[in-house]
Copies of this chain bind each other. A is one copy, B any other.
C-alpha cells in the first residue's frame, strides 16, 4: 500500500510540494491528496491586480494548472471547496468539510504539508456583513470583487485602505477601470516597504495618476445603506465609497495548526527547520504564507508572505518528501513592484530595519539612468544603498526607476546574500552596453559613493 501525503491548501506552496514529491515518487509509492477551500488551485495571486485592472484580460490566464491537470498528469487528487477543520496528529487524520454539501469526512495521512496561506487582516470596523468590502488574497476574493465591479449599480468611488503593495496595486487597478480612488494610509507614506525618501517618489507617481492619497489618516468606521457600503469614516472626515478594498496586510493562517499543537513563532508563522519540516515534528511539513523564515542579515525570524518564497518552500518540502534533499536558506527581503509606471525594488534592510537590527550604517542615494544617457529611451533611475559603517558590508538597497530598473535589484540581492562590501562591489564585472546601462551602471555608481562615505573619516 502506498504512503499517503495530505496537503492542506492548494495554492503555490501546497501544489509545488505535491508536484515535486510526485516527480520523485510514483503513485504506487505515494498517494497525494490536496484539500483546497477555494474554487481554484495553483494560480498567480500576484497577478490579481492586473486582472482586476484589465491588463490581463482573462481570469483563467492566472491559473497555472487546473485540478484536472493535476489529476491527469500528476496523479494528485485535488479536492476544491473542501476545508480541513481539524488535524489529529496522534491518529494522523484530518477532518474535512465539503463546503458545498456540508458533508464531513476524515482522511488519514502518513505525511502532511500544511500550506494554508495567509488571511487578510480585518480591522474591527471591517468585521461586518455590509456588502462591498473586499480583501484580495485569493482568486475567490478577486472574483467576488470583480463581480461587484461589473454588477449594477456599478461602483464609482473606491476607497483602498492600506498603502502596501496590494493597496497601491489595487488603487492603480481601480483607476484603470475608471473609478475615482482614494487610498487611506495611517502611516506617513505609501509603500512603507521602502524608505521615506524613496516613498516620496511613489507618492508623486500616485498623485500623477489621479489617486487621492491620504496619509496619516485612519479609518474608524463604515456607513452603509441598504446593506451596502456607502462611505468610509476616517480621522479626517467622511469619504464616499461604494467599494472598499482592504490592503492592511495579512496574517499567517495558523489556527488549525496551533490547535493541533504545531509550534508557532514570534511572528505568528509556523516554525520550520531548513528542510521545511515543522520544528520537532515527524513527517509534518509546512510552507508558504503560513510559515516564518529567517532573515539572513539580521538572523531574526520574519514573516514574508510572497509567492516567490511560497513556491520555493513548497518545492523544498516536496523534494524532501520525495526522498531528495533540499533546504530553504531564508530571505534577504527582496521585493519588486510596479506602481503607476514606476518600478520600485528593494532588498535587504531599510534604514529603520537596519537600525532595529542593531547595525550602524551609512546610506547614499544617486541619480543615474537605465541606459547610456545619449541612448534613445534613457530614463532616470534612483539607487539607494545602505552599508555597515565599519565593515562596508552591504545591508540594503532600493531602486526607483521608470524602465529596466526593478530587476537591477537582483545583482544587489546576490551581493548582499554573499555579504559583499561596497568596496568589493565597486569592482564588480557587470554587463555594459549603451542600450542597457551607462558605462558605470547605476549600481556601481552607488557602490562607489558608498565607498567614499565609508572611508570618509
Contacts and interface: CB of A to CB of B under 8 A. Distances in A.
Interface string A368-412: 000010111000000000000000000000000000101111110
A51 to B, nearest CB: 9
Contacts of A61: 374
Contacts of A12: 439
Nearest to A338: B435
A331 B429 contact: yes
A205 interface: no
A125 to B, nearest CB: 30
A50 B429 contact: no
Interface in A319-374: 324, 326-329, 331-338, 343, 345, 347, 372, 374
Copies in the complex: 2
A433 B168 CA distance: 14
A86 interface: no
Central interface residue in A343, A410, A430, by most chain B CB within 10 Å = A410
A61 B306 CA distance: 43
A447 to B, nearest CB: 11
Interface in A429-449: 429-437, 439-441, 443, 448
A311 interface: yes
B374 A47 contact: yes
Given A44-B374, A46-B432, A328 B427 contact: yes
Given A439-B46, A439-B308, A406 B433 contact: yes
Contact of A431 (B47, B345, B376, B424): B345
Contacts of A308: 429-430, 432, 439-440
Q: How large is the interface on A (under 10, 10 to 19, 20 to 34, 35 or more residues)?
A: 35 or more
A417 interface: yes
A25 interface: no
A434 B374 contact: no
A343 B436 contact: yes
Given A311-B440, A374-B47, A376-B55, A413 B428 contact: yes
A307 interface: yes
Nearest to A437: B407
7 contacts: A46-B372, A47-B434, A62-B374, A347-B429, A404-B404, A404-B407, A410-B431
Nearest 4 Cβ contacts at the A-B interface:
A336-B431, A410-B411, A61-B374, A308-B432
Interface of A: 12, 44, 46-47, 50, 55-56, 61-62, 306-309, 311-312, 315, 324, 326-329, 331-338, 343, 345, 347, 372, 374-376, 404, 406-411, 413-415, 417-418, 420, 424, 426-437, 439-441, 443, 448, 455
